Structure 1
Amino acid sequence: MNENARKVTRVWETENKILNPSKKEVLLDVVEQVASLFSAGPFYYYIINFEDVSMDYVHEGIKDVLGIQPEAFNVDKLFEIMHPDDLEVMHQKEGIATHFLLNQISVENIPDYKVVYLMRLRHTSGIYKTILHQTKALVMSHDGKIQKVLGIHTDMTHLNMPFDNKVSFLSQKLPSVHYKYTKSNYVLRQHYETEYTKRETEILELLSQGKTAQDISGELSISLLTVNTHKRNILRKSGAINTSQLVAKAIREGII
Protein backbone atom coordinates (compact mmCIF):
# COMPACT_ATOMS: atom_id res chain seq x y z
CA MET A 1 0.00 0.00 0.00
CA ASN A 2 1.49 3.35 -1.05
CA GLU A 3 1.60 6.49 1.11
CA ASN A 4 -1.55 8.05 -0.35
CA ALA A 5 -3.51 4.87 0.38
CA ARG A 6 -2.12 4.85 3.94
CA LYS A 7 -3.34 8.43 4.40
CA VAL A 8 -6.89 7.28 3.59
CA THR A 9 -6.82 4.37 6.03
CA ARG A 10 -5.36 6.65 8.72
CA VAL A 11 -8.36 8.96 8.29
CA TRP A 12 -10.70 6.03 8.83
CA GLU A 13 -8.75 4.67 11.78
CA THR A 14 -8.47 7.99 13.64
CA GLU A 15 -11.82 9.63 12.86
CA ASN A 16 -14.03 6.54 12.88
CA LYS A 17 -12.47 4.18 15.42
CA ILE A 18 -15.18 1.73 16.54
CA LEU A 19 -15.05 0.82 20.22
CA ASN A 20 -18.52 -0.64 20.76
CA PRO A 21 -19.77 -2.41 17.61
CA SER A 22 -23.38 -3.23 16.84
CA LYS A 23 -24.35 -6.79 15.90
CA LYS A 24 -27.15 -5.70 13.57
CA GLU A 25 -27.28 -7.74 10.36
CA VAL A 26 -27.69 -6.19 6.89
CA LEU A 27 -30.36 -7.65 4.59
CA LEU A 28 -28.83 -7.99 1.13
CA ASP A 29 -32.14 -7.97 -0.74
CA VAL A 30 -33.02 -4.58 0.76
CA VAL A 31 -29.50 -3.30 0.09
CA GLU A 32 -29.75 -4.32 -3.58
CA GLN A 33 -33.01 -2.40 -3.96
CA VAL A 34 -31.40 0.71 -2.46
CA ALA A 35 -28.29 0.34 -4.65
CA SER A 36 -30.33 0.12 -7.84
CA LEU A 37 -32.23 3.29 -6.93
CA PHE A 38 -28.94 5.17 -6.60
CA SER A 39 -27.65 4.08 -10.00
CA ALA A 40 -28.01 5.55 -13.49
CA GLY A 41 -25.98 3.05 -15.49
CA PRO A 42 -24.01 -0.21 -15.12
CA PHE A 43 -23.16 -0.58 -11.44
CA TYR A 44 -21.99 -2.76 -8.61
CA TYR A 45 -22.20 -2.30 -4.89
CA TYR A 46 -20.31 -3.45 -1.85
CA ILE A 47 -20.62 -3.43 1.93
CA ILE A 48 -17.51 -2.40 3.83
CA ASN A 49 -17.09 -3.23 7.52
CA PHE A 50 -15.00 -0.60 9.29
CA GLU A 51 -14.30 -2.84 12.29
CA ASP A 52 -11.49 -4.39 10.23
CA VAL A 53 -11.85 -2.48 6.92
CA SER A 54 -12.98 -5.62 5.10
CA MET A 55 -15.64 -6.30 2.49
CA ASP A 56 -18.71 -8.07 3.84
CA TYR A 57 -20.14 -8.39 0.35
CA VAL A 58 -19.32 -7.42 -3.25
CA HIS A 59 -22.00 -7.51 -5.96
CA GLU A 60 -21.29 -9.52 -9.11
CA GLY A 61 -21.89 -6.43 -11.27
CA ILE A 62 -18.23 -5.57 -10.66
CA LYS A 63 -17.34 -8.16 -13.31
CA ASP A 64 -19.11 -6.11 -15.99
CA VAL A 65 -17.94 -2.69 -14.76
CA LEU A 66 -14.27 -3.44 -13.97
CA GLY A 67 -13.64 -7.02 -15.11
CA ILE A 68 -12.84 -8.06 -11.53
CA GLN A 69 -14.21 -11.09 -9.70
CA PRO A 70 -16.18 -10.10 -6.56
CA GLU A 71 -13.96 -12.17 -4.27
CA ALA A 72 -10.86 -10.31 -5.55
CA PHE A 73 -12.17 -6.86 -4.60
CA ASN A 74 -11.08 -5.30 -1.31
CA VAL A 75 -9.78 -1.95 -0.06
CA ASP A 76 -6.22 -2.67 -1.20
CA LYS A 77 -7.51 -3.57 -4.67
CA LEU A 78 -9.54 -0.36 -4.80
CA PHE A 79 -6.43 1.72 -4.10
CA GLU A 80 -4.40 -0.33 -6.58
CA ILE A 81 -6.73 0.34 -9.52
CA MET A 82 -7.53 3.98 -8.67
CA HIS A 83 -6.10 6.65 -10.96
CA PRO A 84 -2.94 8.06 -9.30
CA ASP A 85 -4.27 11.64 -9.43
CA ASP A 86 -7.48 10.57 -7.68
CA LEU A 87 -5.63 8.57 -5.06
CA GLU A 88 -3.52 11.62 -4.30
CA VAL A 89 -6.58 13.59 -3.11
CA MET A 90 -8.57 10.62 -1.77
CA HIS A 91 -7.51 11.24 1.84
CA GLN A 92 -8.83 14.80 1.57
CA LYS A 93 -12.16 13.58 0.24
CA GLU A 94 -12.51 10.95 2.95
CA GLY A 95 -11.29 13.43 5.58
CA ILE A 96 -14.08 15.84 4.66
CA ALA A 97 -16.60 12.99 4.56
CA THR A 98 -15.76 11.65 8.02
CA HIS A 99 -15.58 15.15 9.52
CA PHE A 100 -18.97 16.14 8.08
CA LEU A 101 -20.72 12.93 9.12
CA LEU A 102 -19.15 12.56 12.57
CA ASN A 103 -18.69 16.17 13.64
CA GLN A 104 -21.00 18.49 11.72
CA ILE A 105 -24.32 16.66 11.97
CA SER A 106 -26.03 14.67 14.71
CA VAL A 107 -25.60 10.90 14.86
CA GLU A 108 -29.27 10.29 14.11
CA ASN A 109 -28.95 12.26 10.84
CA ILE A 110 -25.97 10.30 9.50
CA PRO A 111 -28.14 7.69 7.68
CA ASP A 112 -30.05 10.51 5.96
CA TYR A 113 -27.00 11.51 3.91
CA LYS A 114 -25.08 9.87 1.12
CA VAL A 115 -21.55 10.92 0.17
CA VAL A 116 -21.02 11.45 -3.56
CA TYR A 117 -17.93 12.12 -5.66
CA LEU A 118 -16.26 10.95 -8.87
CA MET A 119 -13.27 8.65 -9.20
CA ARG A 120 -11.47 6.85 -12.00
CA LEU A 121 -10.85 3.12 -11.68
CA ARG A 122 -8.82 0.91 -14.02
CA HIS A 123 -10.61 -1.91 -15.81
CA THR A 124 -8.67 -5.15 -16.27
CA SER A 125 -8.29 -4.11 -19.93
CA GLY A 126 -6.19 -1.15 -18.77
CA ILE A 127 -8.83 1.50 -19.57
CA TYR A 128 -9.84 3.89 -16.79
CA LYS A 129 -13.58 4.12 -16.10
CA THR A 130 -15.24 7.24 -14.69
CA ILE A 131 -17.13 6.05 -11.63
CA LEU A 132 -19.83 7.82 -9.64
CA HIS A 133 -18.94 6.84 -6.07
CA GLN A 134 -21.83 6.93 -3.58
CA THR A 135 -21.70 5.75 0.02
CA LYS A 136 -24.33 5.59 2.74
CA ALA A 137 -24.10 4.42 6.34
CA LEU A 138 -25.93 1.13 6.91
CA VAL A 139 -25.04 0.25 10.50
CA MET A 140 -23.95 2.53 13.32
CA SER A 141 -21.94 1.23 16.28
CA HIS A 142 -23.18 1.74 19.84
CA ASP A 143 -20.56 4.46 20.34
CA GLY A 144 -21.88 6.53 17.40
CA LYS A 145 -19.36 5.51 14.75
CA ILE A 146 -20.06 4.26 11.23
CA GLN A 147 -19.68 0.50 11.35
CA LYS A 148 -20.93 -0.65 7.94
CA VAL A 149 -21.25 1.34 4.74
CA LEU A 150 -23.03 0.64 1.48
CA GLY A 151 -20.90 1.74 -1.49
CA ILE A 152 -22.36 2.02 -4.98
CA HIS A 153 -20.11 2.44 -8.02
CA THR A 154 -21.88 3.44 -11.23
CA ASP A 155 -20.02 3.49 -14.57
CA MET A 156 -20.45 6.98 -16.06
CA THR A 157 -17.75 6.66 -18.72
CA HIS A 158 -20.17 6.58 -21.64
CA LEU A 159 -21.71 9.91 -20.58
CA ASN A 160 -18.45 11.86 -21.07
CA MET A 161 -19.05 13.81 -17.87
CA PRO A 162 -16.45 16.49 -17.04
CA PHE A 163 -14.32 15.09 -14.22
CA ASP A 164 -14.10 17.03 -10.96
CA ASN A 165 -13.07 16.41 -7.36
CA LYS A 166 -16.15 17.95 -5.74
CA VAL A 167 -17.51 16.15 -2.67
CA SER A 168 -21.27 16.29 -2.04
CA PHE A 169 -23.43 15.26 0.90
CA LEU A 170 -26.90 14.65 -0.48
CA SER A 171 -30.14 14.17 1.43
CA GLN A 172 -33.82 14.07 0.55
CA LYS A 173 -34.77 15.21 4.07
CA LEU A 174 -32.05 17.69 5.02
CA PRO A 175 -30.10 20.43 3.18
CA SER A 176 -27.50 19.06 0.77
CA VAL A 177 -23.94 20.31 1.18
CA HIS A 178 -21.20 20.57 -1.44
CA TYR A 179 -17.44 21.06 -1.16
CA LYS A 180 -15.67 22.40 -4.24
CA TYR A 181 -12.01 21.52 -4.91
CA THR A 182 -10.03 24.71 -5.62
CA LYS A 183 -6.26 25.19 -5.69
CA SER A 184 -5.58 21.86 -3.95
CA ASN A 185 -8.03 22.66 -1.15
CA TYR A 186 -11.71 22.09 -0.48
CA VAL A 187 -14.05 25.06 -0.09
CA LEU A 188 -17.56 24.80 1.32
CA ARG A 189 -20.30 25.53 -1.18
CA GLN A 190 -23.29 25.24 1.13
CA HIS A 191 -26.22 25.69 -1.20
CA TYR A 192 -26.77 24.46 -4.70
CA GLU A 193 -29.15 26.73 -6.58
CA THR A 194 -31.20 24.99 -9.22
CA GLU A 195 -32.99 26.66 -12.10
CA TYR A 196 -35.45 23.81 -12.50
CA THR A 197 -39.12 24.40 -11.79
CA LYS A 198 -41.12 22.00 -9.63
CA ARG A 199 -42.63 20.41 -12.75
CA GLU A 200 -39.21 20.04 -14.40
CA THR A 201 -37.89 18.33 -11.26
CA GLU A 202 -40.84 15.93 -11.35
CA ILE A 203 -40.04 15.08 -14.96
CA LEU A 204 -36.36 14.64 -14.11
CA GLU A 205 -37.26 12.13 -11.39
CA LEU A 206 -39.43 10.16 -13.82
CA LEU A 207 -36.70 10.20 -16.49
CA SER A 208 -34.26 8.82 -13.90
CA GLN A 209 -36.65 5.88 -13.44
CA GLY A 210 -36.42 5.09 -17.16
CA LYS A 211 -39.85 6.49 -18.04
CA THR A 212 -40.45 7.58 -21.64
CA ALA A 213 -42.02 10.88 -22.64
CA GLN A 214 -45.23 8.95 -23.36
CA ASP A 215 -45.15 7.38 -19.88
CA ILE A 216 -44.60 10.77 -18.25
CA SER A 217 -47.44 12.29 -20.25
CA GLY A 218 -49.84 9.70 -18.86
CA GLU A 219 -48.52 9.78 -15.30
CA LEU A 220 -48.64 13.58 -14.97
CA SER A 221 -51.77 14.02 -17.10
CA ILE A 222 -50.11 16.49 -19.44
CA SER A 223 -49.73 16.40 -23.21
CA LEU A 224 -46.79 14.75 -24.94
CA LEU A 225 -45.97 18.13 -26.50
CA THR A 226 -45.74 19.68 -23.02
CA VAL A 227 -43.44 16.89 -21.79
CA ASN A 228 -41.10 17.34 -24.74
CA THR A 229 -41.07 21.11 -24.23
CA HIS A 230 -40.09 20.59 -20.59
CA LYS A 231 -37.38 18.13 -21.64
CA ARG A 232 -35.90 20.65 -24.09
CA ASN A 233 -35.89 23.34 -21.38
CA ILE A 234 -34.28 21.00 -18.86
CA LEU A 235 -31.55 19.99 -21.32
CA ARG A 236 -30.86 23.64 -22.15
CA LYS A 237 -30.57 24.63 -18.48
CA SER A 238 -28.37 21.67 -17.61
CA GLY A 239 -26.01 21.86 -20.57
CA ALA A 240 -26.40 18.08 -21.00
CA ILE A 241 -26.38 16.69 -24.52
CA ASN A 242 -28.81 13.81 -23.94
CA THR A 243 -31.18 12.35 -21.36
CA SER A 244 -28.62 9.95 -19.89
CA GLN A 245 -26.13 12.74 -19.25
CA LEU A 246 -28.95 14.90 -17.87
CA VAL A 247 -29.96 12.25 -15.33
CA ALA A 248 -26.34 11.67 -14.33
CA LYS A 249 -25.77 15.38 -13.72
CA ALA A 250 -29.01 15.67 -11.73
CA ILE A 251 -27.98 12.75 -9.49
CA ARG A 252 -24.48 14.23 -9.15
CA GLU A 253 -25.91 17.55 -7.94
CA GLY A 254 -28.55 16.00 -5.67
CA ILE A 255 -31.46 17.48 -7.62
CA ILE A 256 -33.13 14.07 -7.72
Structure 2
Amino acid sequence: MISELDKLRNVWLLPHNKSVNNTELPQITFNDLTNSIISTGPFYYYVIDFYDMSLSHISPSIRDLHGFDPETVTFDDVLNAIHPDDQAFIAKAESTIADFFHKNIKREKLLKYKKCYNIRGRNASGGYTLFNHQALMLTLDSNGGYGKCLNIHTSIDHITSYNTYQYSLIGLNGEPSFMNINPDSTLQNTIKFSKREIDVLKCMAEGLNSTEIADKLFISDLTVKKHRKNILEKSECKNTAQLITNCVRQGLI
Protein backbone atom coordinates (compact mmCIF):
# COMPACT_ATOMS: atom_id res chain seq x y z
CA MET A 1 0.00 0.00 0.00
CA ILE A 2 1.40 3.41 -0.99
CA SER A 3 2.23 5.67 1.97
CA GLU A 4 0.98 9.25 2.33
CA LEU A 5 4.55 10.55 1.94
CA ASP A 6 4.92 8.60 -1.30
CA LYS A 7 1.65 10.14 -2.51
CA LEU A 8 3.12 13.55 -1.69
CA ARG A 9 6.37 12.81 -3.57
CA ASN A 10 4.37 11.57 -6.55
CA VAL A 11 2.61 14.94 -6.87
CA TRP A 12 5.95 16.63 -7.55
CA LEU A 13 7.11 13.82 -9.85
CA LEU A 14 4.14 13.96 -12.25
CA PRO A 15 5.35 14.67 -15.83
CA HIS A 16 3.54 18.03 -16.03
CA ASN A 17 4.91 19.07 -12.62
CA LYS A 18 8.52 17.91 -12.46
CA SER A 19 11.26 19.89 -14.16
CA VAL A 20 12.93 17.91 -16.93
CA ASN A 21 16.09 20.01 -16.82
CA ASN A 22 18.00 21.94 -14.23
CA THR A 23 17.04 25.58 -13.74
CA GLU A 24 19.26 28.47 -12.75
CA LEU A 25 18.44 29.98 -9.39
CA PRO A 26 18.01 33.76 -9.46
CA GLN A 27 20.28 35.70 -7.15
CA ILE A 28 18.75 35.54 -3.66
CA THR A 29 19.64 38.38 -1.30
CA PHE A 30 18.89 38.73 2.38
CA ASN A 31 16.32 41.42 1.55
CA ASP A 32 14.58 39.07 -0.89
CA LEU A 33 14.31 36.44 1.81
CA THR A 34 13.05 38.77 4.52
CA ASN A 35 10.47 40.27 2.15
CA SER A 36 9.15 36.77 1.44
CA ILE A 37 9.03 35.63 5.06
CA ILE A 38 6.08 36.28 7.35
CA SER A 39 7.98 36.12 10.63
CA THR A 40 5.56 35.62 13.53
CA GLY A 41 7.91 33.36 15.46
CA PRO A 42 11.09 31.27 15.16
CA PHE A 43 11.57 30.08 11.59
CA TYR A 44 13.91 28.33 9.19
CA TYR A 45 14.06 28.19 5.40
CA TYR A 46 15.64 26.24 2.58
CA VAL A 47 15.48 26.00 -1.21
CA ILE A 48 14.25 22.69 -2.64
CA ASP A 49 15.17 21.80 -6.24
CA PHE A 50 12.42 19.55 -7.60
CA TYR A 51 14.71 18.52 -10.46
CA ASP A 52 16.72 16.28 -8.13
CA MET A 53 15.09 16.92 -4.69
CA SER A 54 18.30 18.51 -3.35
CA LEU A 55 18.37 21.27 -0.71
CA SER A 56 20.39 24.49 -0.68
CA HIS A 57 20.43 27.83 1.16
CA ILE A 58 19.49 26.03 4.40
CA SER A 59 19.23 28.35 7.38
CA PRO A 60 21.16 27.30 10.53
CA SER A 61 17.98 27.63 12.63
CA ILE A 62 16.77 24.28 11.26
CA ARG A 63 19.05 22.76 13.91
CA ASP A 64 17.26 24.63 16.73
CA LEU A 65 13.77 23.75 15.52
CA HIS A 66 14.24 20.19 14.25
CA GLY A 67 17.65 19.08 15.45
CA PHE A 68 18.86 18.64 11.85
CA ASP A 69 22.43 19.40 10.81
CA PRO A 70 22.09 22.10 8.11
CA GLU A 71 25.17 20.68 6.38
CA THR A 72 23.72 17.17 5.91
CA VAL A 73 19.91 17.44 6.16
CA THR A 74 17.94 16.05 3.20
CA PHE A 75 14.44 16.68 1.91
CA ASP A 76 13.45 13.20 3.08
CA ASP A 77 14.52 14.20 6.60
CA VAL A 78 12.14 17.17 6.45
CA LEU A 79 9.29 15.06 5.03
CA ASN A 80 9.75 12.31 7.61
CA ALA A 81 9.48 14.89 10.40
CA ILE A 82 5.86 15.64 9.40
CA HIS A 83 3.30 14.33 11.89
CA PRO A 84 1.77 11.11 10.49
CA ASP A 85 -1.75 12.47 10.99
CA ASP A 86 -0.98 15.53 8.82
CA GLN A 87 0.58 13.69 5.88
CA ALA A 88 -2.70 12.87 4.10
CA PHE A 89 -3.82 16.53 4.24
CA ILE A 90 -0.53 17.78 2.80
CA ALA A 91 -0.60 15.22 -0.03
CA LYS A 92 -4.18 16.23 -0.89
CA ALA A 93 -3.45 19.96 -0.62
CA GLU A 94 -0.36 19.77 -2.84
CA SER A 95 -2.24 17.66 -5.39
CA THR A 96 -5.16 20.11 -5.44
CA ILE A 97 -2.87 23.12 -5.83
CA ALA A 98 -0.88 21.49 -8.65
CA ASP A 99 -4.09 20.48 -10.44
CA PHE A 100 -5.54 23.98 -10.11
CA PHE A 101 -2.52 25.68 -11.65
CA HIS A 102 -2.19 23.01 -14.34
CA LYS A 103 -5.83 23.27 -15.48
CA ASN A 104 -6.97 26.80 -14.66
CA ILE A 105 -4.06 29.24 -14.59
CA LYS A 106 -1.14 29.91 -16.90
CA ARG A 107 1.79 27.92 -15.61
CA GLU A 108 4.04 30.96 -15.23
CA LYS A 109 1.60 32.32 -12.64
CA LEU A 110 3.12 29.85 -10.20
CA LEU A 111 5.89 32.41 -9.76
CA LYS A 112 3.32 34.97 -8.62
CA TYR A 113 1.80 32.95 -5.80
CA LYS A 114 2.86 31.87 -2.34
CA LYS A 115 1.10 28.81 -0.95
CA CYS A 116 0.53 28.52 2.79
CA TYR A 117 -0.81 25.94 5.21
CA ASN A 118 -0.06 24.65 8.70
CA ILE A 119 1.69 21.39 9.51
CA ARG A 120 2.94 19.68 12.65
CA GLY A 121 6.61 18.81 12.55
CA ARG A 122 8.77 16.81 14.94
CA ASN A 123 10.95 19.20 16.92
CA ALA A 124 14.45 18.88 18.35
CA SER A 125 13.04 17.54 21.64
CA GLY A 126 11.12 14.73 19.96
CA GLY A 127 7.69 16.31 20.38
CA TYR A 128 5.69 18.13 17.71
CA THR A 129 5.44 21.84 16.90
CA LEU A 130 2.80 23.51 14.72
CA PHE A 131 4.48 25.30 11.81
CA ASN A 132 3.13 27.67 9.18
CA HIS A 133 4.49 26.42 5.86
CA GLN A 134 5.07 29.03 3.15
CA ALA A 135 6.33 28.07 -0.31
CA LEU A 136 7.37 30.46 -3.05
CA MET A 137 8.32 29.00 -6.46
CA LEU A 138 11.51 30.65 -7.72
CA THR A 139 12.07 28.95 -11.09
CA LEU A 140 10.26 26.89 -13.71
CA ASP A 141 11.80 25.01 -16.61
CA SER A 142 10.99 25.78 -20.24
CA ASN A 143 7.96 23.46 -20.09
CA GLY A 144 6.59 24.99 -16.89
CA GLY A 145 7.86 22.17 -14.68
CA TYR A 146 8.69 22.84 -11.03
CA GLY A 147 12.23 24.08 -10.59
CA LYS A 148 13.52 25.60 -7.38
CA CYS A 149 11.24 26.65 -4.51
CA LEU A 150 11.83 28.62 -1.31
CA ASN A 151 10.17 26.92 1.69
CA ILE A 152 9.77 28.74 5.01
CA HIS A 153 8.55 27.06 8.20
CA THR A 154 7.57 29.32 11.11
CA SER A 155 6.71 28.05 14.58
CA ILE A 156 3.22 29.31 15.50
CA ASP A 157 2.56 27.34 18.69
CA HIS A 158 2.46 30.63 20.57
CA ILE A 159 -0.43 31.78 18.33
CA THR A 160 -2.48 28.60 18.05
CA SER A 161 -2.30 24.85 18.56
CA TYR A 162 -5.23 24.23 16.20
CA ASN A 163 -4.62 23.12 12.62
CA THR A 164 -7.42 24.20 10.28
CA TYR A 165 -6.32 21.73 7.59
CA GLN A 166 -6.90 24.41 4.97
CA TYR A 167 -4.48 26.11 2.61
CA SER A 168 -4.24 29.59 1.09
CA LEU A 169 -2.81 30.91 -2.18
CA ILE A 170 -1.35 34.38 -1.59
CA GLY A 171 -1.25 36.47 -4.75
CA LEU A 172 1.84 38.59 -5.42
CA ASN A 173 2.30 41.50 -7.81
CA GLY A 174 -1.40 42.28 -8.09
CA GLU A 175 -2.74 38.72 -8.30
CA PRO A 176 -5.85 37.92 -6.19
CA SER A 177 -5.48 35.81 -3.04
CA PHE A 178 -7.55 32.73 -2.19
CA MET A 179 -7.97 32.04 1.52
CA ASN A 180 -8.91 29.07 3.70
CA ILE A 181 -9.33 26.48 0.95
CA ASN A 182 -10.45 23.00 1.92
CA PRO A 183 -8.65 20.48 -0.33
CA ASP A 184 -11.98 18.69 -0.84
CA SER A 185 -13.75 21.85 -2.06
CA THR A 186 -13.44 24.07 -5.15
CA LEU A 187 -11.94 27.54 -5.36
CA GLN A 188 -15.40 28.91 -6.16
CA ASN A 189 -16.30 28.35 -2.50
CA THR A 190 -13.25 30.08 -1.02
CA ILE A 191 -12.50 33.58 0.20
CA LYS A 192 -11.03 35.73 -2.56
CA PHE A 193 -9.38 39.05 -1.70
CA SER A 194 -8.56 41.66 -4.34
CA LYS A 195 -5.16 43.40 -4.45
CA ARG A 196 -6.67 46.56 -2.92
CA GLU A 197 -8.29 44.56 -0.13
CA ILE A 198 -4.90 42.98 0.61
CA ASP A 199 -3.34 46.46 0.72
CA VAL A 200 -5.98 47.63 3.19
CA LEU A 201 -5.63 44.46 5.25
CA LYS A 202 -1.87 44.92 5.58
CA CYS A 203 -2.40 48.50 6.72
CA MET A 204 -4.92 47.28 9.30
CA ALA A 205 -2.31 44.82 10.57
CA GLU A 206 0.08 47.76 11.03
CA GLY A 207 -2.50 49.36 13.33
CA LEU A 208 -3.45 52.21 10.99
CA ASN A 209 -6.93 53.70 11.27
CA SER A 210 -9.17 54.38 8.27
CA THR A 211 -7.91 57.93 7.78
CA GLU A 212 -4.28 56.86 7.92
CA ILE A 213 -4.96 54.01 5.48
CA ALA A 214 -6.70 56.43 3.10
CA ASP A 215 -3.71 58.77 3.20
CA LYS A 216 -1.22 55.96 2.65
CA LEU A 217 -3.12 54.38 -0.26
CA PHE A 218 -4.34 57.69 -1.76
CA ILE A 219 -8.00 56.71 -1.54
CA SER A 220 -10.96 58.20 0.34
CA ASP A 221 -12.01 57.35 3.91
CA LEU A 222 -15.32 56.09 2.52
CA THR A 223 -13.52 53.68 0.18
CA VAL A 224 -11.39 52.37 3.04
CA LYS A 225 -14.46 51.77 5.20
CA LYS A 226 -16.11 49.92 2.34
CA HIS A 227 -13.04 47.72 1.89
CA ARG A 228 -12.88 47.02 5.63
CA LYS A 229 -16.54 46.03 5.68
CA ASN A 230 -16.09 43.73 2.66
CA ILE A 231 -12.99 42.11 4.16
CA LEU A 232 -14.77 41.30 7.43
CA GLU A 233 -17.81 39.94 5.60
CA LYS A 234 -15.74 37.77 3.25
CA SER A 235 -13.64 36.36 6.07
CA GLU A 236 -16.67 35.91 8.37
CA CYS A 237 -14.71 37.55 11.19
CA LYS A 238 -16.48 39.41 13.99
CA ASN A 239 -13.80 42.06 14.46
CA THR A 240 -10.39 43.23 13.30
CA ALA A 241 -8.51 41.32 16.02
CA GLN A 242 -10.00 38.00 14.87
CA LEU A 243 -9.31 38.91 11.24
CA ILE A 244 -5.65 39.73 11.85
CA THR A 245 -5.10 36.57 13.92
CA ASN A 246 -6.62 34.38 11.21
CA CYS A 247 -4.60 36.06 8.47
CA VAL A 248 -1.35 35.64 10.41
CA ARG A 249 -2.16 31.93 10.81
CA GLN A 250 -2.61 31.61 7.06
CA GLY A 251 0.55 33.55 6.17
CA LEU A 252 -1.30 36.39 4.46
CA ILE A 253 0.31 39.13 6.55
1:42/1:141 Cα in 2 relative to 1: closer, same or farther (>3 Å)?
same
1:202 Cα deviation (Å)? 4.9
Instruction: Give the alignment partner of residue 188 of structure 1, picking from 186, 189, 192.
Output: 186
How far does the alpha carbon of each residue in 1:4-30 deviate from its partner, in whole angstroms, 9 at most, with x for none?
211111111114122243334442434
How far does the alpha carbon of each residue in 1:106-164 deviate from its partner, in whole angstroms, 9 at most, with x for none?
12322111111110001121221000001011011111112000101010011125212
Counterpart position of 1:22:
23
1:107/1:71 Cα in 2 relative to 1: closer, same or farther (>3 Å)?
same
User: CA separation in 2, counterparts of 1:133 and 1:237?
Assistant: 26
- Report whether the alignment pairs 1:91 with 2:91: yes
User: CA separation in 2, counterparts of 1:140 and 1:167?
Assistant: 22
Counterpart position of 2:239:
237
User: CA separation in 1, counterparts of 2:134 and 2:213?
Assistant: 34
Return the letter of the residue paired with 1:188.
Answer: T
Return the letter of the residue paired with 2:118.
Answer: L
Return the letter of the residue paired with 1:116.
Answer: C
Aligned alpha-carbon RMSD (Å): 3.2
1:42/1:180 Cα in 2 relative to 1: closer, same or farther (>3 Å)?
same
What is the TM-score normalised by the length of structure 1?
0.74
Counterpart position of 1:42:
42
User: CA separation in 2, counterparts of 1:124 and 1:175?
Assistant: 37
Return the letter of the residue paired with 2:10.
Answer: R
Return the letter of the residue paired with 1:108.
Answer: E
Counterpart position of 2:219:
none
Is residue 25–residue 138 contact of structure 2 (8 Å, CA) maintained in 1? no
Counterpart position of 2:175:
174
1:80/1:21 Cα in 2 relative to 1: closer, same or farther (>3 Å)?
closer
Counterpart position of 1:133:
133
User: CA separation in 1, counterparts of 2:131 and 2:25?
Assistant: 30
1:90 Cα deviation (Å)? 2.2
Is residue 21–residue 143 contact of structure 1 (8 Å, CA) maintained in 2? no
1:247/1:155 Cα in 2 relative to 1: closer, same or farther (>3 Å)?
farther
Paired-residue identity, %: 25
User: CA separation in 2, counterparts of 1:106 and 1:221?
Assistant: 33
How far does the alpha carbon of each residue in 1:49-74 deviate from its partner, in whole angstroms, 9 at most, with x for none?
01111112211122232232212432
User: CA separation in 2, counterparts of 1:155 and 1:121?
Assistant: 9
How far does the alpha carbon of each residue in 1:151-189 deviate from its partner, in whole angstroms, 9 at most, with x for none?
0101001112521211211114222224643xxx61124
- Report whether the alignment pairs 1:249 with 2:246: yes
1:221 Cα deviation (Å)? 9.5
What is the TM-score normalised by the length of structure 2?
0.75
Counterpart position of 1:115:
115
Q: Secondary structure at the match of 1:159?
A: coil
Is residue 17–residue 144 contact of structure 2 (8 Å, CA) maintained in 1? no
User: CA separation in 2, counterparts of 1:85 and 1:202?
Assistant: 33
Unaligned stretches of 5+ residues in structure 1: 208-215, 223-229, 241-245
Is residue 18–residue 51 contact of structure 1 (8 Å, CA) maintained in 2? yes
Counterpart position of 1:225:
none
1:104 Cα deviation (Å)? 2.0
Is residue 18–residue 145 contact of structure 2 (8 Å, CA) maintained in 1? yes
User: CA separation in 2, counterparts of 1:152 and 1:47?
Assistant: 9
User: CA separation in 2, counterparts of 1:65 and 1:104?
Assistant: 37
Is residue 179–residue 189 contact of structure 1 (8 Å, CA) maintained in 2? no
1:132/1:255 Cα in 2 relative to 1: closer, same or farther (>3 Å)?
closer
Q: Secondary structure at the match of 1:158?
A: coil
